[in-house]
């Protein structure tokens, strides 16, 4: 695992778990180019779903923007993506932006991001913390493809940590878990997140609208819209 002890994680928004409840923290890893209300709602819906399960308390949430070395179409420099993430959660009382992943020397595997944040939170006073990765059912389905997700990494993600999976049309979460022995054996660490409101906002759609000089208001936070305009991004 990459060293995490030289990095200071912002835990100012974290709240201790009440007695008897196991603390967990939510983390979303992605491009966030740019962040949208879909990403932010994923945090809220996941916390609500996990809170309804007895014995668990979400102490906080973290946005982790991928390193610049991760080659993907539409990926703008990390500096901008990180700043937009900070602006997007400025008014959140429990979600913060983490810069650990973006400050590494190169691209980092998701499981290493989880390990590092787990270590950081333990050193910050949460010794029994459990990290839960937020994702959609399409990502969970991809866990079964070793060409995308190495099996040893999937094993570590779902056994050492956990996954909160948002329902998505066309993907049967129970079937995905049932057909994969690694996921099936760690079913207790996979949390199904009901799709309460249909939200198909994607960064790709937002980029296309901006490049066409069309409005993206109500798709992404106003502060992010202002930042994009100020720096002439996605044009």
Determine whether domain 22-198 maps to CATH 3.40.50.620: yes
Q: Answer yes or no: are the C-beta atoms of 121 and 9 closer than 8 Å.
A: yes
DSSP string, 90-112: TT-SSEEEE-TGGGSSS---HHH
DSSP element (H, E) containing 60: strand 56-65
pLDDT in tens, the chain (235 residues): 455 556 889 999 999 999 889 999 999 999 999 999 999 999 999 999 999 887 899 999 999 999 999 988 879 999 999 999 999 999 999 999 999 999 999 999 999 999 999 999 999 999 999 999 999 999 999 999 999 999 999 999 999 999 999 999 999 999 999 999 999 999 999 999 999 898 889 999 999 999 999 999 999 999 999 999 999 999 9
Does residue 214 sit in helix, strand or coil?
coil
Cβ-proximal residues to 134 (8 Å cutoff; 6+ apart), any chain? 26, 27, 28, 42, 43, 46, 163, 164, 166
Does residue 73 sit in helix, strand or coil?
coil
The residue ranges of every structural domain in the chain are: 22-198
């Amino acid at each position: 695992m990459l060293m995490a002890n030289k990095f200071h994680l912002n835990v100012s928004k974290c709240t201790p778990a009440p007695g008897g409840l196991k603390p967990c923290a939510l983390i979303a890893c992605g491009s966030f180019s740019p962040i949208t209300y879909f990403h932010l709602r994923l945090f809220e819906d996941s916390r609500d779903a996990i809170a309804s399960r007895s014995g668990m308390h979400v102490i906080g949430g973290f946005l982790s923007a991928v390193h610049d070395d991760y080659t993907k179409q539409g990926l703008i420099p990390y500096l901008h993506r990180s700043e937009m993430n900070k602006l997007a959660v400025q008014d959140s009382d429990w979600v913060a932006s983490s810069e650990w992943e973006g400050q590494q020397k190169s691209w980092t595997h998701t499981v290493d991001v989880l390990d590092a944040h787990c270590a950081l939170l333990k050193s910050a006073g949460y010794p029994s913390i459990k990290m839960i990765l937020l994702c959609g059912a399409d990502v969970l389905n991809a866990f079964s493809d070793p060409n995308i997700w190495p099996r040893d990494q999937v094993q570590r993600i779902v056994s050492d940590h956990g996954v909160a999976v948002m329902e998505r049309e066309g993907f049967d979460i129970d079937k995905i878990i049932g057909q994969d022995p690694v996921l099936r054996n760690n079913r207790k660490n996979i949390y199904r997140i009901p799709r309460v409101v249909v939200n198909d906002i994607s960064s790709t759609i937002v980029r296309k609208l901006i490049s066409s000089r069309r409005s993206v208001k109500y798709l992404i936070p106003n502060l992010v819209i202002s930042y994009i305009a100020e720096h002439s991004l996605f044009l």
